[in-house]
Amino acid sequence: KTIGLQISTGLQDLSLRDRGGRRRDYHDLGVNTRQAMVHVQESKTGLSGRMIKLSTNHFRLTSRPQWALFQYHVGYSPEMESRRLRSALLFQHEEQIGKTHAFDGSILFLPKNLGNKVTELFSRTRSGEDVKITVTLTNELPPTSPTCLQFYNIIFRRLLKMLNLQQIGRNYYNPGDPVNIPNHRLVVWPGFSSSILQYEESIMLCADVSHKVLRGETVLDFMHSLHSQIGEERFRDACAKELVGLIVLTRYNNRTYRIDAVSWDNSPMGTFRKSDGSEISFMEYYKKQYNIDITDPKQPVLISQRKSRGIVQGTVVLMPELCSLTGLTDKMRSDFNTMKDLAIHTRLPPEQRQREVGRLLNYIQKDDNVQKELGNWGLSFDYKSVAFMGRVVQGEKIFQSGSMFDYNPQFADWTKETRGAPLIRAMPMDNWLLIYTRRSYDVANTLLQSLFKVTPSMGIRMNKPNMIEVDERTEAYLRVLQQRVNPDINIVVCILSSSRKDRYDSIKKYLCTDCPVPSQCVLARTLSKPQTIMTVATKIALQMNCKMGGELWSVEIPLKQVMIVGIDCYHDIVSGRQSVAGFVSSLNQTMTRWFSRCVVQSRGQELVDGIKACLQTALRNWFKWNKSLPSRIFVYRDGVGDGQLNTLVNYEVPQFLDCLKTIGTDYSPRLTVIVVKKRVGARFFAEAGGGLKNPPPGTVVDTVVTRPEWYDFFIVSHTVKHGCVTPTHYNVIYDASQLKPDHLQRLTYKLCHMYYNWSGVIRVPAPCQYAHKLAFLVGQSIHREPNLLLSDRLYYL
Whole-number Å distance between alpha carbons of 116 and 141: 16
Cβ distance to other proteins smaller for residue 66 or 275: 275
The size of the interface with other proteins (CB under 8 A), counted in residues, is: 69
Q: Are 646 and 29 in contact (CB under 8 A)?
A: no
* Stretch touching other proteins by CB under 8 A, among 80-88, 555-563, 668-676, 737-745: 80-88
Least Cβ distance, residue 73 to other proteins (angstroms): 23
* Stretch touching other proteins by CB under 8 A, among 46-54, 250-258, 387-395, 410-418: 250-258
- By C-alpha distance, which of 329, 779, 336 is closest to 525? 336
SS3 71: strand
Determine if 490 is a binding residue for other proteins (CB under 8 A): no
Candidate list 113, 164, 482, 605; residue touching other proteins; CB under 8 A: 164
Determine if 249 is a binding residue for other proteins (CB under 8 A): yes
SS3 239: helix
Cβ distance to other proteins smaller for residue 294 or 591: 294
Whole-number Å distance between alpha carbons of 676 and 584: 15
Phi, psi of 178 (to 5 degrees): -80, 155
Chain-centroid distance of CA 114 in Å reads 45
Cis peptide before 78 (omega within 30 of 0): yes
Determine if 183 is a binding residue for other proteins (CB under 8 A): yes
Determine if 678 is a binding residue for other proteins (CB under 8 A): no
* Stretch touching other proteins by CB under 8 A, among 283-291, 355-363, 454-462, 756-764: 283-291
Candidate list 24, 64, 112, 124; residue touching other proteins; CB under 8 A: 124
Whole-number Å distance between alpha carbons of 225 and 331: 14
Whole-number Å distance between alpha carbons of 71 and 103: 10
Cβ distance to other proteins smaller for residue 163 or 682: 163
Determine if 214 is a binding residue for other proteins (CB under 8 A): yes
Cβ distance to other proteins smaller for residue 248 or 782: 248
166: amino acid identity, one letter: Q
Catalytic residues: 568, 606, 638, 772
Candidate list 223, 541, 648, 754; residue touching other proteins; CB under 8 A: 223
SS3 482: helix
Determine if 473 is a binding residue for other proteins (CB under 8 A): yes
- By C-alpha distance, which of 630, 689, 686, 685 is closest to 660? 630
Region label for 642, one of left (φ > 0), alpha (ψ between -120 and 50) or beta (otherwise): beta
Q: Give the list of residues 6+ apart from residue 124 with CB closer than 8 angstroms, or none.
A: 92, 130, 131
Cβ distance to other proteins smaller for residue 267 or 592: 267
* Stretch touching other proteins by CB under 8 A, among 111-119, 216-224, 648-656, 786-794: 216-224
- By C-alpha distance, which of 465, 467, 440, 441 is closest to 455? 465
Candidate list 276, 368, 488, 666; residue touching other proteins; CB under 8 A: 276
Determine if 32 is a binding residue for other proteins (CB under 8 A): no
Candidate list 228, 483, 486, 665; residue touching other proteins; CB under 8 A: 228
Least Cβ distance, residue 770 to other proteins (angstroms): 25
C-alpha separations of 471 from 432, 468, 476, 528 in Å: 20, 10, 6, 20
Determine if 531 is a binding residue for other proteins (CB under 8 A): no
Ranges within 408-467 binding other proteins (CB under 8 A): 439
Candidate list 32, 35, 180, 602; residue touching other proteins; CB under 8 A: 180
Per the DSSP assignment, residues forming a β-bridge with 550 are none
Phi, psi of 215 (to 5 degrees): -120, 135
Q: Are 198 and 707 in contact (CB under 8 A)?
A: yes
What residue ranges bind other proteins (CB under 8 A)? 1-2, 5-6, 82, 84-85, 88, 124-128, 161, 164, 166, 168, 173, 175, 178, 180, 182-183, 185, 187, 189, 214-216, 218, 223-225, 227-228, 231-233, 235, 249-254, 264, 276, 289-292, 295-296, 298-300, 324, 336-337, 340, 439, 471-473, 497-498, 524-526
